[in-house]
A and B are shown apart, each in its own frame.
Chain A
Amino acid sequence: MNVTVGSDSGVVKDKKPVGIYGQIQSSLEKELLTMSYGWDSNESELLQGYKDGTVKMWSINEGVGQTLGEIQLGATQAVRAIRTLADRRLLVGCENGSISLQKVTEEGDAKQLEQMSFSKSLYQLKVDQNDANRIAIGGKNSEISVFDIEKKQQVWRAKNAPNDMLGIAPLIWITDIELVGSDKIVTGTGHAEMRVYDCRKNRSPPAINIKLAKHPILSIKYSNQFENMIIIADSVGNVNSYDIRNGKSIGSYKGNTGSVRCIDVHPTLPLLATVGLDRHLRVFDIDSRKCVQTVYLKQKMSSVLFSAEEPPEPEEEEETTNGYAQQFDDEEEEEEYNDDGGIDDEENEQIWNQIEANAAVAVTKANKKIANKKQQQQVEEEDDEEDDEDFDEDAEFDDDDEGDSDDFGEDDSGDDDDSEDDDEESEEEEPVKSKKRPMVLLTPPNKPNSLKQIKTIS
């Protein structure tokens, strides 16, 4: 699984450098502002937008990147947003408000189809997932509005929040937009406010307008897996999650010491990646808010993209459900496990014993392994190995893995069995709720009183 990180000096790194692309350029003139995956579903195309108005296209294969082409939009137009549309078209939004619709061939030649300008300032542009003709844009002194690109018409516009007690209208500086569902728009502003709009009513003031902190919000992200939760990152390193319905703070993701310029959530797994000026990539588990991994990336980072691939674990997952069945030697039980909730007490007991065994062993090994993990991290491990570290979901199945590797020789972890399994076990301590599991929720229980309790059942 890859996380692509773009540094503000133009170097692109895939997490655990699977690949480093690009050359270091002066970030003063040519700062990387935005990144996006291309049209290929394998995410082998990458687009970067720079402060000096260039859009670079990369083709990435197995860790080797090649520039396909460049689009020059003019030196004064800092590229703020790149959105891919169907049919190899590209929307490029620049800071001065101009939006350019380009058609890009596979070789990287771009032709400008249209140029539009709906506002004087554009800091963020988002395309509606359901209707590719609708875009939401906002900027400095440019209130958030939704436009239809085809008809070149304004579909919806927000009304500013009410004047403060001195009668002064609040300043508008929209730094990031997130379209939630079909009716809500959440924006973060440069004055540290979070605003939620209902976009069914035209010219409506924000339903929720909350001042969160003192520093500009740089990135907000919504995850489809967690309804009503939005994650907001600001320029001091605070990454917090809020409830969209009432604006209340849910929790914070601690770890970043510098400005967090970009965050991204994984499309299917509950993971959050944050990247910023403190030169680290941090991956958090959205639920437990624990930092699952930290990577030092030597350059100041500007943007991050989560690849949609999932780690190979899911295949093993199916094997391990069989593994449970194997252990209990009963096909009926296997079927029941695959149900959503039909487990009766006896099997229950067995499952709990299993988990306790896992947890007991894990807790003893965990401390050693966590230390080892951090050292191993940077050096030799492949991406797959790292993926295993990240994904707590499979923690419950750990011991089964060890049993399984005998039965099902298809383990991806065949190379480095021990270290991987141990790494997985160390994740035992972090409970994870997964919504995709066919099995019943299996979070590790409270730590057992005695560490010497039960040996692993294999």
Chain B
Amino acid sequence: MVKPKQNIDPEEAVVRHTPHDIKCKARRVLLSQKLRAQRKKAKESGRKERQKERQKLGEDGPAAQQPRTIESMRVADDTIVDEEDPEYQDEIELDEFSKYFEGKEPKTCITTNEKPGGKAVGFAKLFPRILPNAEYFPRQHFELSEIVKFCKNRDYTDLIVVNEDKGEVNTLMICHLPDGPTALFKVTSITMPDKIPGGGEMTNHKAELIVNNFTTRLGHTIGRMFASLFPQEPNFRGRRVCTLHNQRDFIFFRQHRYMFESKSKANLQELGPRFTLKLMSLQHGTFDTKSGEYIHLHKAGMDVDRKKFVL
């Protein structure tokens, strides 16, 4: 079957004059400069008008325009959790982290990759000072699957493995036990406590935890995973707080000592390491790369849309 030719009505044909249509560079540049000047002028005059109206009308005047940021233009995600949802609440009561929220205290085992360098060990040894009931063990020659078994036998609730490559720490694996999910994070921008200007010393007080901006279902799972590492009853008198802030799928870890100057203002002194995490994968069950199922696996295709986030 041969497709018949389409007759385009000359009146209805759309003709455009954008810089893209013009092949001659000189003319094209002129046009684009003209358009840019027009746009700038329109923007300025619009702004001035709005200012005038605001002066005239006061509160009734046009509201200030909000800048468009990547966060404000974020692609709508249907997995954003409604905390009031009874289905979500039911699921929470029975998931892998529920034991922590019912009172079971965390017990963490921290280790590194095999034959770690100084940086990996140094970074790993910070965790026992941040987390309650945590202990660093040198890796020696054990396989991770074996280590998971040992930890389960000794009633550990979490396993953290710091991995380094070419001398620099590059990934962090948090495996919740006994059958919790395993999260693999990429670690970047590490600043050790002694390198923080004006920084203070960490103390033994049980830290409070702030987990910020985890909105989607996956984000909530990760947030709960972090929460289950920290003490359930922090020592408020110690005024020590750890923050895990998610922004654009990057999780920023900060630790501060705070002091209230007045009821609304607190001064902060930064302690502890600064580092940034990015979720690479979340695997169902304990560490098992061969036959484990992945709940979330970061693929290159996910980075294409700059306004789509998973946490």
A residues in contact (CB < 8 Å) with B = 9, 11, 23-28, 190, 215-216, 218, 235-237, 254, 257-259, 261, 277-279, 294, 296, 298-300, 348-349, 352-353, 356, 378, 445, 448-453
Contact = CB atoms under 8 A, between A and B. Distances in A.
Interface residues of B, number: 34
A254 to B, nearest CB: 8
Contacts of A261: 293
B233 interface: no
A28 B217 contact: no
A356 B284 CA distance: 49
Given A450-B8, A450-B12, 18 more contacts: A23-B90, A24-B90, A28-B179, A216-B291, A218-B293, A235-B292, A237-B294, A258-B295, A298-B87, A298-B91, A299-B87, A300-B295, A349-B4, A445-B3, A449-B8, A450-B6, A450-B14, A452-B14
A24 B8 contact: no
B71 to A, nearest CB: 21
B14 A298 contact: no
Contacts, number: 91
A189 to B, nearest CB: 11
A25 B87 CA distance: 11
17 contacts: A23-B90, A26-B94, A190-B291, A216-B291, A237-B294, A258-B296, A259-B295, A277-B293, A277-B294, A277-B295, A278-B295, A279-B217, A296-B78, A298-B85, A298-B87, A451-B14, A453-B9
Contacts of A235: 291-294
A258 B1 contact: no
Tell me the dominant secondary structure on chain B's binding face.
Answer: loop
B88 A298 contact: yes
Contacts of A258: 293-297
B105 interface: no
A300 B8 CA distance: 52
Interface in B244-296: 284, 290-296
B94 A259 contact: no
A190 B284 CA distance: 16
Interface string B86-102: 01101100111000000
A259 B284 contact: yes
A236 B291 contact: no
A215 B290 CA distance: 6
A453 B293 contact: no
Contacts of A25: 94
B145 interface: no
B96 A378 contact: no
